Structure 1
Amino acid sequence: MTVGFFYLFALLLTIHCYFEAPKHEILQGSPIFLQTSKETELRLALNELEQLQVSRVERLITEEEKHVETRALEILFAAMEGTSWKSSISWLNGQHPCASGSSWFGVHCSGSGHVVGISLSKQNLIGELPHGIFSSLQELKFVDISNNNISGELPSDIGSCSKIIFFDASHNSITGYVQDFFGTMDSLRFLFLHHNQFTGSLPSSLVETQTLSVIAIHGNRVEGRPAYGRMQAHPPCTKVGQNYTIPSEKDVLLDVYESLNGWSWPRNRGWEEGQAGDPCLQCWYGVTCTLDGYVTELRLPKNALYGTIPSSLSSFRHLRVIDFSYNPIFGSFPQGALYLPSLRELDMSGTFMDPFSLALPSFGEELGSLGRWRWNGDLFHWRVHESVTL
């Protein structure tokens, strides 16, 4: 047993040293090229080692931090009439939300055991958000409390959550001014405050924002509009000839729309008509089709896709490109979609999904025809067939 342990340690140490320079390139987001069986196996082993090292560090959450996070959510539950929520499974069960087997409804956790997400849309939250809970949840990255009965002003300690990327409080009855701290939160990329009762002028920090990708403030009595900083306009879908869409593929697109909260996308031309429209004939935003009605590309980067990707995505037979980058998507990527016969490019960078959760095949096993995939800024070229040119 001891000999085997030291042998494994020596092997991993050798791998680490062998790939010292490429490892630095990964951190810098440079391309990685997997060319041979030996290199592939070593790379996968190194990735596993790095994940073990990260996991060991991330598990160092203190008991005090657990208590603070739990107490903050308990206060939220009491203040927002939690007993009347549509679902409050496991809430107030005496355990930390991220404890093994705990799983509080609508609470999402990181590998370190911290609360990183609150997803309580359409759950009948009633009342005013209590002050102090957000400052106790410093690892928060996304908050969705839309479509509830929240009233009063937003608590100012939201601005202390420096890691929040996605914040959605739309379709409530929130009053007061739009606070200026939203424009100074460096990590915030998606802000949805539409259809509330905000008044006054938009703060200068939002008018001059250089970091937000999407802002929605319509449906309020607010003066002014953001300059949108470096926000980029994305190309519309590509319409090729007089297309129609294969019915089964249209159903999958509607499933994607429903699962990723399409109603709140800032760019959803065509999608919002749902069953009344045709993705190819009416040129749904981000969708490219063939002349005979097959969907070949789904390009929806920076479009506030929020939620989990449906497993039905694995049904496309002609899909070549999936680009859902820079959206607050979480959960697991549908394993079957990696084996789509026509898929050539996958971009999931800038999401909450973990690329190492994928059950990637060993070298020599076919991975559909996927030529490259991008995740968290790293571009991976995966050679599957000798005939594939990258």
Structure 2
Amino acid sequence: MVKINKFILSLAVSIIAVIASWNPSAVTANSEGDALYSLRRSLFDPDNVLQSWDPNLVNPCTWFHVTCNQDNHVTRVDLGNSNLSGHLVLDLGKLEHLQYLELYKNNIQGSIPVELGNLRSLISLDLYNNNLTGVVPHSLGKLKSLVFLRLNDNHLTGPIPRSLAGISSLKVVDVSNNDLCGTIPTSGPFEHIPLNNTIRAFFPTFHPYPRS
């Protein structure tokens, strides 16, 4: 009986130690690392700029081109002009603390994931000078902290989503040199474009919808 009681006591102490050492932010950081590693696997990286993105590390905060806050949450991904090709992944939408997503001047193809609309902390979305196709996702209208939206010099099609007019924080919108059509939103941050100097926006020549 004494041995059993000692075993139970030892087990209880071990469980308490595990609970005390559990760090929820570390778990979150790991999930963010998984999301970024998913991006790495989808990209061709001839210059090995992603060589430090090791999924076996505790969190991605030690990876090059990744910045974290004091709670070890990923806040920046800086991969502009890195000679990357491939496509974006849905898992990017799991980086809920991300503020800056910089992937400009690469050779990234495919569509812009709808899941980027989950990045509610995002301030800057720079995907310009790639080979992106498809439409500008309506879900980007959920990015209420967004200030800079640069999607120019891709192969995007369709209209500018009306949902973007609801982002009052937008200061810079550039969707030029795409194959967009339709009309420019005229409400919200777009109301005074291009007369309002507080908002710099650059738009392509729009092709009107064909009449039926």
**Which of the five TM-score ranges fits, normalised by the shorter chain?**
0.7 to 0.9
**What residue identity is the alignment partner of 2:76?**
G
* Contact 1:183–1:206 (8 Å) recurs in 2: yes
Q: Counterparts of 1:216 and 1:72 in 2: how far apart (Å)? A: 27
Residue pairs, 1:362-373, within 5 angstroms? none
Q: Counterparts of 1:106 and 1:65 in 2: how far apart (Å)? A: 19
Deviation at 1:208, TM superposition (A): 5.7
Deviation at 1:205, TM superposition (A): 1.3
Deviation at 1:65, TM superposition (A): 1.0
**What residue identity is the alignment partner of 2:197?**
A
- Residue of 64, 78, 81 corresponding to 2:27: 64
* Contact 1:168–1:192 (8 Å) recurs in 2: yes
- Residue of 178, 189, 201 corresponding to 2:159: 201
Q: Counterparts of 1:230 and 1:121 in 2: how far apart (Å)? A: 26
Residue pairs, 1:118-133, within 5 angstroms? 118-131=77-90, 133=91
Classify 1:266/1:86 alpha carbon distance in 2 versus 1 (closer, same or farther; 3 Å). farther
SS in 1 for 2:60: coil
Q: Counterparts of 1:266 and 1:206 in 2: how far apart (Å)? A: 13
Classify 1:174/1:94 alpha carbon distance in 2 versus 1 (closer, same or farther; 3 Å). same
* Contact 2:146–2:167 (8 Å) recurs in 1: no
Residue pairs, 1:313-352, within 5 angstroms? none
What TM-score do the two structures reach when normalised by structure 1? 0.41
Matched, 1:79 2:42: yes
Classify 1:230/1:204 alpha carbon distance in 2 versus 1 (closer, same or farther; 3 Å). closer
* Contact 1:69–1:115 (8 Å) recurs in 2: yes
What is the CA deviation profile of residues 164-184 of structure 1, one whole-angstrom value per residue up to 9, with x for unaligned ones? 010000000000011112223
Deviation at 1:86, TM superposition (A): 4.9
Q: Counterparts of 1:266 and 1:107 in 2: how far apart (Å)? A: 28
2:197 matched residue in structure 1: 233
Q: Counterparts of 1:226 and 1:149 in 2: how far apart (Å)? A: 29
SS in 1 for 2:125: strand
SS in 1 for 2:188: coil
**What residue identity is the alignment partner of 1:70?**
G
**What residue identity is the alignment partner of 1:74?**
Y
Q: Counterparts of 1:85 and 1:116 in 2: how far apart (Å)? A: 24
What is the CA deviation profile of residues 273-315 of structure 1, one whole-angstrom value per residue up to 9, with x for unaligned ones? xxxxxxxxxxxxxxxxxxxxxxxxxxxxxxxxxxxxxxxxxxx
Detail structure 1 runs of 4+ shifted over 6 Å in the superposition. none
Query: How many residue pairs end up in the alignment?
Result: 172
Unpaired runs of at least 5, structure 2: 1-22, 191-195, 203-212
2:136 matched residue in structure 1: 178
2:19 matched residue in structure 1: none
2:6 matched residue in structure 1: none
Matched, 1:167 2:125: yes
1:92 matched residue in structure 2: 54
SS in 2 for 1:62: helix
What TM-score do the two structures reach when normalised by structure 2? 0.73
**Percent of aligned pairs with the same residue?**
29
Q: Counterparts of 1:230 and 1:93 in 2: how far apart (Å)? A: 40
* Contact 1:170–1:195 (8 Å) recurs in 2: yes
What is the CA deviation profile of residues 253-290 of structure 1, one whole-angstrom value per residue up to 9, with x for unaligned ones? xxxxxxxxxxxx869xxxxxxxxxxxxxxxxxxxxxxx
Deviation at 1:130, TM superposition (A): 1.5
- Residue of 106, 110, 114 corresponding to 2:73: 114
